[in-house]
Amino acid sequence: MARKKKRIGILTGGGDCPGLNAAIRAVVRTAEVEFDMDVVGFRDGFEGLVQNKYFEITLSQASGLLARGGTILGTSNRSDPFNYPVLQGDNEEYVYLDRSSQAVRNFESLGLDCLIAIGGDGTMSASARLIEKGIPIIGIPKTIDNDLVGTDVTFGFDSALVTATDAIDKIHTTAQSHHRAMIVEVMGRYTGWLALSSGLAGGGDIILLPEFPYDIEAICEQVRVRNARGKTFSIVVVGEGARQQGGELVFRSKIKQSSESTRLGGISHQVAAQIEGLTNIECRVTILGHLLRGGIPSAYDRILATRFGVEAVHMAEQGSFGSMVTLQGSKLGTIPISEVAGKMRPLTVENSLIKTAVSLGICLGVPVGEDLNKYYENPIPEDTASAASLAAANSSE
């Protein structure tokens, strides 16, 4: 009896990042070349699954994707099936409804054997709930924030790090020329992986992280000390989720049509104003924002995304559903998606990058030489399942 040809679905959820197309290419090539599987791509993340928007991805369509940024599938960070935005009423206001059963029906009608979901914490949170409703899912971790639990690295992070470091390198020259304090704000949400790594790579003098609410006096003292030593400029790298001790997070906007109603950003302007007010040293702010998501993937991310994609298809062939591919050290592994959902991975005092920064005399926003344990705060909000856990209690089909 002939073996039934397997069909697997794939989608990219959440914010885009370099490496998504490389992962799609790896899935399609491995599925067709090694296992003679068909691959169905859902457009715009879970929106495609809910609205049944899909297309067959062939080898020819996957050709040339390795070095391309973005995602040929499209993506969305506001299409959680359990909290799906729908325009209703004469005023066309958004309400959030549970459309998960519709997603399950569409999956089943296509005769798919599994779904490969590429995304961050929101994608994994929604995936965990869809698994409970019967969809066999395999996760691939991507995010420039590098904050998923269970994996040492997510693809997209290295490419964003390269972009941030290049920007900091360029800002150094104008900072030196004008004798200013230059504040560079990077993404990262509630964790400081990108801020710390780019600050180290770019020679930042002060690095402000969500994990260590900053003391403005400690920052200004570092600037004064540098000036006294003849260093008439300072580079301050700020994670968007940083905040002052005893202060609140700074948000740049509110988004009506998203289940995540607020967007972090703008803390760098607050830091600049405080430094200028206390030191009379001129400050300038650069917010890198979505530049960090764009462009071609780095060589590292191309390889990592490819490894993840190949491994995900191997898992599909073996029937190993309900898990996310991980990188632990140099080896690939897996973790149940249920253990990833609703969680994030912050920096800790014992992290080697933190220790490196301290040894170099970099100010982390607290008095240099002080015990960091006294200042550390876990920055992760109690509810971090950014989409799935926000489903309305009274939502309906």
Q: Among the options 121, 145, 147, 158, which is catalytic?
A: 145
> Nearest-CA neighbor of 9 among 46, 61, 63, 64?
46
Task: Tell me the CB-side half-sphere exposure of residue 64, using CA atoms within 13 A.
Answer: 3
Beta bridge partners of 148: none
Q: Where are the alpha helices (DSSP H) in the chain?
A: 20-29, 35, 46-51, 59-62, 100-109, 121-132, 157-178, 193-201, 216-228, 267-279, 299-318, 337-340, 352-359
Dist. CA 396–CA 370, nearest whole Å: 53
- Asked whether the beta carbons of 280 and 305 are under 8 A apart, the reply is no
| H/E stretch holding 167 | helix 157-178
CA distance 250 to 242: 8
Residue 182 makes CB contacts below 8 A (sequence gap 6+) with 171, 172, 174, 175, 233, 234, 235, 236, 283, 284, 286
Q: CA 213, CA 247: separation in Å to the nearest integer? A: 8
HEC readout, 44-68 = CCHHHHHHCCEEEECHHHHCCCCCC
The three state secondary structure string of 176-194 is HHHCCEEEEEECCCCCCHH
Question: Can 145 be counted among the known catalytic residues?
Answer: yes
Burial label for 86, CB within 10 Å (0-12, 13-18, 19+), is: exposed
Q: Which residue numbers are catalytic?
A: 145
